[in-house]
Amino acid sequence: MIEENILKINNIIKQSAAKSNRNPEDITVLAASKTRTPDEIIKAYECGITVFGENYVQEFLGKYEYFNNKNFGVKIEGRSFPNLTWHLIGKLQKNKVKYITEKVSLIHSVDNFELAKLIDKFWSGNKNSFIFNEKNIQNTAQILIEINIAEESTKSGIDIENAKKLISDLNCLKNIALKGFMTMPPYSANPEDNRIYFRALKDFLDYTNKNNLYKNKLTELSMGTSGDFSAAIEEGATIVRLGTVIFGERIYT
C-alpha cells in the first residue's frame, strides 16, 4: 500500500508542478510519521522518502535511537539508511530543545524569540551538528517560522505582522539559519478553500526577501498536507507534510 501511495503522490506532484511551471525536484515530500512504526518508516524510505517529520520530542527520540548509529547510516537486518533525516514539525516546548540538538535537520515550529534564543544557545556549542552522512554537515540550527496564517485562536504560530519583528530579531542569532515559513491553514473539506492561505504565505516570503528583512534569502515554504498538497504546490510549497496519504489512517492506542 505504501509503495502504491507514494507512486500516486509522485504523479500528483509532477502534475501540480507542471501547472505552476515548477520543477518537481524542488519539492520535498516529508512523511509525517507520528504514531508510525519503524517498519512503516523503512518501507517509505525504500520507496524514495528520506525526510520524516515528528510532532512530539519523546516519540521522535525513540525513533531516532532506533535508526541512528555512529556510522551515519544505520544497518537493520542488512539494510542501510544513510540519508534518512528528521524534521520536527510539532510545537517545540522550551524544556525539550536540549534533547533534539544535533538530531533534527529542520525545526518547522518556531514562533517566538525566546524559543529561538534557546535553540541558538544549545546549538552554540555544537559546531559539528547535524552530521547525517559525510557529505551532509550543517553547523547551524535550520528553522522555519510557524505562521498562523488565518490567525486562529486554537492554533500555534505567529501572525504576519509580529513575524516581521521576529524575522528582524533573528538576524542577531549566530547559530540559527532561518530558511522560510510553515503554516497550517484552517480545516476545510474543499482543498481549494486553502489556496488563499497558501498564496498569502508565498506573498509574505516574497515580501520578506524583497525588503531584506532577513540577512539571507528565504526559500522554504512548508505547507500542504494529505488533503490539500496539490493546491499548496501550485501556490509555491517547497515542503509538503504527508501522513495518511502515504501510510493510511492512523490507529491510536
SS3 of 190-246: CHHHHHHHHHHHHHHHHHHHHCCCCCCCCCEEECCCCCCHHHHHHCCCCEEEECHHH
Q: Residue 249 pLDDT > 90, yes or no?
A: no
Cα torsion 55, 61, 67, 72: sign:
positive
Report pLDDT for 9. 98
**Percentage with pLDDT > 90 across the chain:** 78
Q: Where are the domains of the chain?
A: 2-247
- Judged by DSSP in three states, 60 sits in helix
State the residue for C-alpha cell 532561518.
Answer: 178
Report residue 240 CA to chain centroid gap.
Answer: 8
Helix H or strand E segment including 125: none
Measured at the alpha carbon of residue 155, what is the angle toward residues 150 and 159, in degrees to the nearest 5? Answer: 45
Q: What is the pTM of this model?
A: 0.91
Phi–psi pair at 239, nearest 5 degrees: -130, 125
Report pLDDT for 125. 67
- In this structure, of 15-24, 55-64, 137-146, 221-230, the range with the lowest mean pLDDT score is 137-146
pLDDT in tens, 31-73: 999 999 999 999 999 999 999 999 999 999 999 988 875 444 4
Q: For 2-247, which CATH superfamily applies?
A: Alanine racemase (3.20.20.10)
* Residue 182 contacts residue 146 (beta carbons within 8 Å): yes
